[in-house]
Structure 1
Amino acid sequence: MSAAISTNKPRRAAVGFAVAGTVAAAIGWGTASRAANCNDISHKGTQFTVCDVDLQSEELRLFLNDSAGKPLGQFARIDQMLEPEGLQLGMAMNAGMYHEDRSPVGHYVEDGVETMRVITTGGGGNFGLLPNGVLCIRDGRADVMETKSFIAAKPKCRYASQSGPMLVIDGTLHPRFIDGGDSRYIRNGVGTTADGKHAVFAISRSPVNFYDFGTLYRDVLKLPNALYFDGNISRLYRRGMTAFNFGTYLGPIVGTVEVIK
């Protein structure tokens, strides 16, 4: 099954932060240093792992293919690719919906090279549940932007991944989300602070609906914009874990890059 329409069936293949420490205060962390700070928190009866990446001190990249143009698909393969440079993954997760061949459904830019244009039309599945949005990574900052706003702003992203739906748009929950909705899956996504200095990644530890996932970003993390990545295939990697993707092959992957100590 293609991840293009992300039906969430099993498949193999804030508003304006007053201070930069709002996220840390909300989940009881200190200031981020070299590695993403990750912690488990509870919201509406669901446990989430939330990782705060400080773009002022950490490098965040997107990964799709190896040097031969073949999909990487696994966190371990990214680590192997980085090792000759003296680098390693710190924290990583799947970063957008993809087709059967693991090519991205929406806009995708890696190291300044666009491999997929921006998709503006709706359609079936979660990607077409408009508004959707784009994670744009630039030097020293990252921004989640609703797709129409992204097109109007024309930011020069070093890395970009389009997914959908948006979870939070300018401090407002996506209008199609239903409190108590019965569509529940393991879900993951990303939100960014208004100043672009922090990207906050979250994954549910048990099935959750869109409404509760969105309110995690809006009410607990208090982020002005947040974007859904995917559900059911959602994976999180943190340095030191004994397992990587548990056999799942992914499309776009986002992660922090660290110097091997």
Structure 2
Amino acid sequence: MERVATRRHYLMVRPAYFDVVYSINPWMNPEKPTSTRLAIAQWEWLRDLFADLGHTVDLLPPRPGLPDMVFAANGATVMNGRVLVARFRDSQRAAESDAYMEWFPAHGYTDVRQARWTNEGEGDYLAAGSVILAGTGFRSTPRAHRESEEYFGVPVIGLTLVDPRFYHLDTALAVLAEDTVMYHPEAFSDESRERLEELYPDAILATAADAAAFGLNAVSDGRNVVLPQAATGLIGRLREHGFEPIGADMSELLKAGGSVKCCTLELHGTVPAERPGR
């Protein structure tokens, strides 16, 4: 099958203040040294790659005291010009929402509000054609799923995560095209695995090793799939399915439990015609 890339619009945050000073997921160890300089270099490579692939990349300025702000995907869900800003579970990240509440109206978005219930943006909400796949179990709540369905007017399919290493949906599943996904079955409850098998009988299944390498924290434009280079099994499977995998070294950011997708918020749908600037 010939895969076709489509131009995408992303929002990213430079990791100017990246560090691991607390632990809110199993990957974070404040006693393990980190390098902000290396995190910036890896992030800049990713940003430049998206531009080279023809995608638009807007930047939200980082704020001091928010070391996880680089993980822009968690900040909001954006569909058809409507923006639902995250409400974080953990107090350490709560102030990030203010930055998104300010940035979107300043850049021409008029329908912007913060989620009422715990909702961690595209970390747990992935657009897949005419539906949204939504994770729960560790962060976003089922009540937040209903809120998103009402706000966006799109069916939301809830999926329950059961392995704390895969605390957001985007660490356990990636949408490759409207009708194609890859995921790690063991990250989901029995009921959710059955639902995924029904929806995507031809899905690419990730091994435990590739999932642990954060290989599912990937970004696809329909043809090019950017994912951690350590997920060698998935890279081979993607080629077999007609995709063009591009390996990325995001090892420094993985110390905080994030990788390619975590750094990348996709602005789906209509983009405001007039924006003051980027």
**TM-score normalized with structure 2 length:** 0.32
Hey, which of these two has a bigger chunk of helix by percent?
2
Q: Which has the higher contact order (CA 8 A, sep 6+)?
A: 1
